[in-house]
Amino acid sequence: MSDQLPHGQHGGAHVPLLEVDHVVVQFGGVTAVNEASFVAEAGQVTGLIGPNGAGKTTCFNVISGLQKPTRGKVRFRGRSVTGAPVHRRSKRGMGRTFQRLEAFGSLTVRDNVRVAHDIHRGIVGLLRPGAKDIDALLERVGIAEYADERADSIPTGTARLLELARCLAGDPQLLLLDEPSSGLDESETDDFGDLLRDLAAEGRGILMVEHDMDLVMGVCDTIHVLDFGSVIASGAPGDIRRDPAVQRAYLGYSDEVPEHELVGASTGAHVGTHVSAVEETRTDLVPVGAATDATTVIPVVPAAPPVPSHGQEPPR
């Protein structure tokens, strides 16, 4: 019966593709994720943003199964996967890319995608994909010209797109993308944004942690903002950009934009004034301390100020 219902519907009730439900993660005395609840829908690009140390990576690890939550649940396609191992989530349709590049350096780009496909499908008893299918995938992510190159000889941006191709080889319903645009130049990032929209239009759900605010604001349908492990805002890009709590969590231009403009921007003229004012300073939406975390951040501005004490860093 439920098979005949449209995707995401069970007996009339809407079921999000992914639900993170009151998840708590504690590392000793550090609360990395604090009662976080948010969803990612099929057919949408969802952003997960927040200052460094906010708990984004920990959330990703909980969703993909690398980190067991202290409390709370993760549901995928309406069923709890909270205790399920990584490979079972992957089999059910979750695909993940890592900030750290994981391709086999000695294989060609094409063979890396072929191997990823074999791993996802199971090698025994299943047809190998035709070379055409693999090449179509390489074409789709924009790296076809590198098909015969060894993976350890390609530029970082291309390697990141190869990660995406390897993830797509598993035909995931949900893509978890960790800093997918780092290493991409401006035009590659534009193409990448178009590809994300295409993938969502096919009905896939995409959840991405990303620091490039132009990309996030440009492609996301919904954005969730984490700060100190808690979700402080969820909404469409325009709402997130105007949210004073979000602005306070980032490099503080909320002090420079009068509060009444931020909150009361309801008339056309006002919205126009406000949005352009914020767009001018939008590159300020760089997470506090962004420049200090070389493994996860490509800062949009050259120099970030010193990291304020977040009060939740683990003892060094």
Residues at the interface with ligand ADP (CB under 6 A): 27, 30, 32, 50, 52-58, 312-314
Give whichever of 30 and 144 is closer to ligand ADP, judged by the CB atom: 30
Give whichever of 2 and 295 is closer to Mg ion, judged by the CB atom: 295
In the complex, minimum distance from the CB of residue 63 to ligand ADP, in angstroms, rounded to a whole number:
12
Which residue of the chain is nearest Mg ion when measured via CB? 57
Total residues interacting with Mg ion, rule: CB under 5 A: 2
CB atoms within 10 A of CB 136: 12
What's the one-letter identity of residue 100?
A: R
Establish if 254 lies at the interface with Mg ion (CB under 5 A): no
**Any bridge partners for residue 74, and if so which?**
20
Q: Could you tell me whether strands 94-96 and 174-178 are parallel, antiparallel, or unpaired per DSSP bridges?
A: parallel
Contact partner, 314, from ligand ADP, Mg ion, none, Cβ < 5-8 Å per class: ligand ADP
Alpha helices in 220-312 (DSSP H): 237-242, 244-249, 259-263, 268-280
Contact partner, 313, from Mg ion, ligand ADP, none, Cβ < 5-8 Å per class: ligand ADP
In the complex, minimum distance from the CB of residue 72 to ligand ADP, in angstroms, rounded to a whole number:
15
Contact partner, 50, from ligand ADP, Mg ion, none, Cβ < 5-8 Å per class: ligand ADP
Structure tokens belonging to residue 91: 């089999």
Q: Are 47 and 58 in contact (CB under 8 A)?
A: no
Give whichever of 57 and 90 is closer to Mg ion, judged by the CB atom: 57
Give whichever of 54 and 159 is closer to ligand ADP, judged by the CB atom: 54
Q: Are 258 and 278 in contact (CB under 8 A)?
A: no
**Of residues 14-73, which lie at the interface with Mg ion (CB under 5 A)?**
57
CA dist list (Å): 69 to 12, 29, 43, 96, 292? 30, 14, 27, 18, 27
Give whichever of 35 and 111 is closer to ligand ADP, judged by the CB atom: 35
In the complex, minimum distance from the CB of residue 182 to ligand ADP, in angstroms, rounded to a whole number:
13
CA dist list (Å): 13 to 1, 5, 72, 219? 14, 10, 21, 27
CB atoms within 10 A of CB 202: 9
Give whichever of 57 and 112 is closer to Mg ion, judged by the CB atom: 57
**Of residues 280-299, which lie at the interface with Mg ion (CB under 5 A)?**
296
In the complex, minimum distance from the CB of residue 251 to Mg ion, in angstroms, rounded to a whole number:
18
Contact partner, 105, from Mg ion, ligand ADP, none, Cβ < 5-8 Å per class: none
In the complex, minimum distance from the CB of residue 57 to Mg ion, in angstroms, rounded to a whole number:
3
Q: Could you tell me whether strands 222-227 and 230-235 are parallel, antiparallel, or unpaired per DSSP bridges?
A: antiparallel
Query: From CA 54, how far away is CA 206, in angstroms rounded?
Result: 20
Q: At what angle do helices 131-141 and 156-168 cross, to 10 degrees?
A: 130
Give whichever of 28 and 122 is closer to ligand ADP, judged by the CB atom: 28
Binding site for Mg ion (CB under 5 A): 57, 296
